[in-house]
């Protein structure tokens, strides 16, 4: 489905068998980008749902290189099912919140040993 006014195109990809590799995107027969994809019961450890051309997107999703900044693709996103992270909250925001809270706890724990006063 295309939405030219929004500058977006949506394509549904359905895997019919287990697969792991790169999905290539072609415009007028020329490759304009790729995105790693995995489907099946065995999923690789590092799978990110988004590949982007932005600087900040590269910080949030570092597992793959960024798309070319001047290319026709700004972002490629797959909707993977969330993984069970045990007692940790799932999703990107859950991971960021856990990292933030762990940083606060670590910072508070080293205040006295390092003789830091606030």
Mean pLDDT by 10 residues, the chain (118 residues): 73 83 87 84 72 85 84 82 69 81 94 84
**pTM exceeds 0.85 for this model:** no
* Domain interval for residue 118: 83-118
* pLDDT attached to residue 45: 65
Same domain, 26 and 68: yes
Same domain, 71 and 23: yes
Yes or no: say if 42 and 24 are a contact pair by the CB < 8 Å rule.
no
Same domain, 37 and 95: no
Same domain, 24 and 56: yes
Number of domains composing the chain: 2
Same domain, 62 and 114: no
Same domain, 58 and 100: no
């Amino acid at each position: 489905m295309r939405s030219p006014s929004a500058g977006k195109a949506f394509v549904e990809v359905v895997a019919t068998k287990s697969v792991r590799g790169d999905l290539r995107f072609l415009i007028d027969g020329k490759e304009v980008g790729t995105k790693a994809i995995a489907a099946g019961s065995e999923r690789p450890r590092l799978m990110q749902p988004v590949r982007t051309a932005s600087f900040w997107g590269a910080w949030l999703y570092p597992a793959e290189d960024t798309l070319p900044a001047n290319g026709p693709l700004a972002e490629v996103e797959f909707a993977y099912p969330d993984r069970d992270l045990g007692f940790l909250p799932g999703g990107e925001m859950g991971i960021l919140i856990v990292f933030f809270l762990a940083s606060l706890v670590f910072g508070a724990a080293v205040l006295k040993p390092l003789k830091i006063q606030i």
